[in-house]
Amino acid sequence: MRAGAEAGARLSGLAETGVEVVDVSAEQALDLLRAEGPPGGRRPTLVVLGAEPPAPVGLVHALRPDPRDLAVVVLTTPHNRERAAALPLLLPARLAGTLPHDRLDDLPDLARRLMEQIDRERAYAATQAAVQHALTSRGPAPRQPGRHLLGAILGQALTGALLLDPGLRLVAWNHRAAGLLGLEEPGSIGRSLDGWFPADARERLRSYLGGPPADATGPDPAGDPAAGIPVTGTSVTGTSVTGTSVTGTDPAGAGPVFTRVTGDGAEQVLWLSPQPVTDPGGAEQILVLAEDVTEAVQSRRALAERTGQALLSGEVAAAVTADEPLERRLRRCVQALVGHLDGAVAAVWILDPPTGTLRLTADAVRDAALDDGCARVRLGESTIGRIAAGRLPYVTSEAIGDPHIEEQDWVRRESLTSFAGYPLVIQGQVMGVLAVLARRRLPDTGVRALAGIAGQIAVAVHRDRLLERLSAAADALQRPLLPPRLPEPPGVELAARYRPYGDGLQIGGDFYDAFPLPGERWAVALGDVCGKGPAAAAVTGLVRHTLWAAAQQDPDPGHVLPLVHRALRRENSPFCTLVYAVVDCSAEPVRVRLACAGHPSPILRRAGGTVTMALEDLDGYGPALGLFDGARYPEHSLDLRPGDGLVLYTDGFVEGGASHRQRRPDDLAATLAACLPPEPGDRPADRIVEALMADALSRWGGGLRDDLAVLALAAVPRAGGGQADRARTASSAVS
C-alpha cells in the first residue's frame, strides 16, 4: 500500500497483516506503478492522496487505474472537495472514495474495504476468464469445468436456472428457481414445467421452450419419485450457453413473459430464456433461465395505462372544446373511448327534460351492433334510464347474467362481459348517460378515467345548452331592434343585411330602419351605438323610437337629429353615429335628403357604373349624437334615377379587422364599381348588399372584430311608367 505522509501514521497498523505501507511523493508513486507492469497486471494497490495535490483527479488518471489492481482514496478539504467530485468518472464507485481530512481515524477501515474489493474484482476476473476459456476451447468439450459451472455459478446465481429434458420435464434447478416456482424434492422432479402455468398459456410456453406439443408428452409423473431423472452428475457443456447472462438480467424487451398465480393467489410474471445444452452422456437438454419480472411488468403496465389514460383524457378534452356541433364532438369522444379502452360499444344519451326521454346522441361500435331499442330510453327504465334517474354509476365485469343489466338478450348476443355506465351530472342537473361495453374486462385505470370523462362531457352538454339559451335570448332582444321586413316604396327597392360580431351571443350595436312618412315619403336610417349587449340594445331602442316619433311631426333631418341628440343626453346614454335620409318617391327622379352624424359617408353608385362618396366635403358631417350640444347637422340632397343606388353601411366594413388592417371608404367604392350590373329580373339592391357582405367576410375572416350592417336603396323603373319615364330610364342607362 502506498500512502501520503499525513495518512501514514493511521495506516501503520495494516503492516501487521502483510500490507506494505509506503510514504512517497506523487512522482515516486507513478514510477513505482510503471515498474510493476501494465494496468491489470500490477500488485493490488491502494493509493491515498493527501490534500496537497492541486489536481487529484488528474493524478489518478496518470496512475492508469484498473479495477483489478488499484483503488484510490482522496483526503478532502473545503478547498479540493469540488476537484475530487469527478473521481467516479475514472474508477467505479466501489473502488474510489473520498474522506474528509478531519476524519482520518476512519481511514484504516476504508482501506481494508477497498483492498478486499480489489481481491473480489481479481477473483471475478479470473473465474470469468477460466469459464470463457473452457467454453471456447477447441477440441472435445471438457466435462469437469461444466459440472463446476452448474454447481458453483448457476447453483448460487441470483437468476433462476432450471434444467429440462426434451419433454420439458424438470431435471434440476437452483435455489433461486426453487423459490420462484415453489419446487421441492422429490415431488417436483420429472414434472412438466408447463404444469406451473395456467392452461391457456401452456401451448405457447411449450412452443417457446422448444418442447413437444402437450398431447405428445404422456402423463405427468408428478408425485412419483421413481419417474424422476437423477440430478447427480449433471453438467452444462459446449458453446451453446456462451454469452448467456446469469446475473443482472434485464428482462425489458428480452423475450416473452409468462404469467401464473402463486399459491397465495398473487400474480407472478416470469421472464424465461431457454438454451439447448448437453449432459455428460451427450444427451440434449434445455437450460432455462428464469427471472421474476412481476414488479417491472406491473410498473410498465401501470405506466402504459396511465399514459393511455392521459392520451384518452387529452383526446376527450380536445373533442369537447372543439368548435363543432355538439353531436360531432360527442361522436369524437365515444370513438376515443372505443379505441383506448378496447371497447365494443361506447355511447352517450342526452336527456330531454320536458319529455323525460334519453336520446342516443352519439355512439361508436367496433365489431358489434347497438340494439335498436337503445335509441330512446325513458328515465328510470332499463339500465341506462336507471343510471340517469339514480345519478349513480354502475360498473360490472360480468354483464352477461347480471340481474341489473336488463338488455340481456342483446348483451349475450354480442358477448359483452363488461359494462360501465356513468350519469352526466353537473350542478345537480342530469344531462344524460355515458356507457362503455366490452368483451373483455375493462382496465381499472380506464374505468376510473370514465368518471372524469363523464364530467367533461357533462360540462360540454351543459355549456351547449347555456349557449343555446344565450343565443335565443340575444336573438329575442336583437329581433325587435331591426324591422321585421323592409317596406316597398314605389320606384325604390330596399335591401339590408346584418351580421353580429362573434358567435351571436352578444347583442350588437348596429341597426337600421325604414318606415313610411306622409306624402309618399319614407324615412331610412342606419346607425351604430357605442357598446354591446343589453346596454347597447336599450340605446338602440331609444334611438329608433325617437326617430320614428320625431319624423311623424317633421321628417326634416334638421328637426329629427337634434331631437335624437337631446334624448340621448337626457338619458346620459352612450353616443351614437347615424345616417338619416328622407326618400321622396313622389318626385321624378326620386329625391333623397340626408344628413350624417359622425357616420361614414354613404356611397352613390350611378347606373353607368361610376361610384362616388355621397358626402365629398368634411363640412357636410355633424358630430355623433349624444356628444356636443348645439351641433349642426347639414342636409344634402341628391336624385336617384332608375339604375342608381345609394349604400349606407356601418364602420365594421372599414374597421372590422382591427386598427392595423383598416380600409378606406374608397375601397368599398372600388368593390361596388367592380360589381356586375344586374341581370334582367335581378334585384339590384340585393346584389349590392350581397357583394359588400361577401367582400367583408372574405377580407376579415376570423379576424372580424365588429358588427356589420348595410342598407341599399336602388331606384327602379316604376310599374306602368309612361313614355317620359322610359325615356329617362334609357337616358340614364346610356350615361
Provide the percentage of residues in the chain whose pLDDT is more than 70: 80
Proportion of the chain in helix, strand, coil states, percent, rounded to 5: 40, 25, 35
Average pLDDT over residues 644-668: 78
* pLDDT of 229 strictly over 50: no
Which segments of 441-556 are extended strands (E)? 492-499, 510-517, 521-529
* pLDDT reported for residue 245: 29
CA proximity to 345, closest of 454, 450, 437, 443 = 437
Asked if the model's pLDDT at residue 97 lies above 50, the reply is yes
pLDDT tens for 274-284 read 988 876 667 78
Render pLDDT for 511-558 as a digit per residue (tens, 0 to 9): 899 999 988 899 999 999 887 777 778 888 889 899 999 999 899 999
**Is residue 221 pLDDT above 70, yes or no?**
no
Q: Dmax over Cα atoms in the chain, in whole Å?
A: 141
DSSP state of 618: G
pLDDT at 242: 28
Region for 502 from its dihedrals, namely left if φ exceeds 0, alpha if ψ lies in -120 to 50, beta otherwise? left
Segment 142-147 mean pLDDT: 34
Q: Comparing 86-95, 277-286, 315-324, which segment has the lowest mean pLDDT?
A: 277-286
Confidence of residue 324 (pLDDT cuts 50, 70, 90): confident
Contact criterion met (CB below 8 Å) for 437 and 395:
no
What lies within 8 Å, CB to CB, of 594 at 6+ separation is: 557, 579, 580, 581, 582, 602, 614, 635, 636, 637, 638
The pLDDT-based confidence of 566 (bands split at 50, 70, 90) is: very high
- The CA-based angle 232-238-240, given to 5 degrees, is 110
Within 8 A by CB and 6+ apart from 430, the residues are 351, 388, 391, 423, 424
Is the pLDDT reported for residue 74 higher than 70?
yes
**What are the structural domains of the chain?**
2-130 (3.40.50), 146-214+260-292 (3.30.450.20), 325-474 (3.30.450.40), 484-734 (3.60.40.10)
The SS3 assignment for 595 reads strand
Asked if 57 contacts 87 with a C-beta cutoff of 8 angstroms, the reply is yes
Query: Of 554, 556, 602, 555, whose CA–CA distance to 578 is shortest?
Result: 602
The 8 Å CB, 24+ separation contacts for 346-349 are 346/434, 346/435, 346/436, 346/437, 347/374, 347/434, 347/435, 348/424, 348/432, 348/433, 348/434, 348/435, 348/457, 349/377, 349/384, 349/388, 349/432, 349/433, 349/435
Residue 657 has pLDDT above 80, yes or no: no
Antiparallel, parallel or unpaired: β 621-622 and 590-597? parallel
| C-alpha cell of residue 252 | 425489458
Cα 400 to the center of its chain, rounded Å:
35
- Cell triple for 179: 423459490
Give pLDDT, residue 140. 42
Give the integer Cα–Cα distance in Å for 615 and 613. Answer: 5
pLDDT at 254: 46
- pLDDT band at residue 631 under the 50/70/90 scheme: confident
Give the pLDDT confidence of 145-169 residue by residue, as tens digits: 333 344 555 666 778 888 888 999 9
- Is the predicted pLDDT of residue 720 greater than 90, yes or no? no
Question: Average per-residue pLDDT in the chain?
Answer: 79
Show the 3-state SS of 546-589.
HHHHHHHHCCCHHHHHHHHHHHHHHCCCCCEEEEEEEEECCCCC
Q: Are 35 and 15 in contact (CB under 8 A)?
A: no
**Confidence band (pLDDT; 50, 70, 90) for 137?**
low
Q: Are strands 70-76 and 96-100 parallel, antiparallel or unpaired?
A: parallel
Greater pLDDT, 617 or 652:
652
Q: Worst-scoring range by mean pLDDT, 50-59, 387-396, 457-466? A: 50-59
Picking from 529, 484, 493, the residue whose alpha carbon sits closest to that of residue 508 is 529
Residue 494: which pLDDT band, with cuts at 50, 70 and 90?
Answer: very high
Residue burial 375-387, b: 16+ Cβ < 10 Å; e: rest: eebebeebbbbbb
Residue with more model confidence, 543 or 217: 543
- Which residues in 634-659 are b (16+ Cβ under 10 Å) and which e? ebbebebbbbbbbbbbbbbbbebbee
Q: Report residue 490 CA to chain centroid gap.
A: 62
What is residue 230's predicted lDDT score, i.e. its pLDDT?
A: 31
pLDDT at 580: 95
- 333: which 3 cell numbers? 369522444
Return the closest-CA partner of residue 350 out of 435, 410, 407, 420.
435
Q: Find all residues with CB under 8 Å of 42, minimum gap 6, and list them.
A: 33, 36, 66, 69, 70
Cα separation, 395 vs 380, whole angstroms: 17
Q: Rank 221-230, 614-623, 673-682 by mean pLDDT and report only the highest.
A: 614-623
Q: Looking at beta carbons, which pairs linking 723-728 to residues 24 or more positions away fall under 8 Å?
A: 725/588, 728/588, 728/589, 728/641, 728/642
Percent of the chain scored above 90 by pLDDT?
24
pTM metric for this prediction: 0.49
Sequence-distant (6+) residues with CB within 8 A of 712 are: 494, 495, 496, 645, 646, 647, 648, 684, 685, 688, 689
CA dihedral of 360, 361, 365, 369, whole degrees rounded to 10: 30
Q: Give me the mean pLDDT over the 440-457 stretch.
A: 86
> 53 or 348: whose pLDDT is higher?
348
User: For residue 474, what pLDDT band results from cuts at 50, 70 and 90?
Assistant: low
Q: What is the pLDDT of residue 435?
A: 92
Average pLDDT over residues 321-328: 88
SS3 of residue 394 by DSSP: strand
Query: Based on C-alpha coordinates, what's the Rg of the chain?
Result: 47
CA-based nearest residue to 422, from 459, 384, 396, 460: 384
Top-confidence range, 26-40, 155-169, 188-202: 188-202
Query: Residue 547's closest CA among 559, 560, 536?
Result: 560
Average pLDDT rounded to a whole number, residues 300-321: 83
Per-residue H/E/C for 89-157? HCCCHHHEEEEEHHHHHHHHHHHHHHHHHHHHHHHHHHHHHHHHHHHHCCCCCCHHHHHHHHHHHHCCC
Average pLDDT over residues 657-678: 70
pLDDT of residue 503: 57
Q: Are 246 and 215 in contact (CB under 8 A)?
A: no
> What is the rounded distance in angstroms from the CA atom of residue 273 to the CA atom of residue 208?
9
Mean pLDDT in residue range 346-369 = 89
Judge whether residue 338 has pLDDT over 60. yes
d(CA 729, CA 456): 65
Phi/psi of residue 374, each to 5°?
A: -90, -5
pLDDT class for 235, splitting at 50, 70, 90? very low
How far apart CA 172 and CA 389 sit, in angstroms, is 63
36 contact partners, CB below 8 Å, separation of at least 6: 42, 43
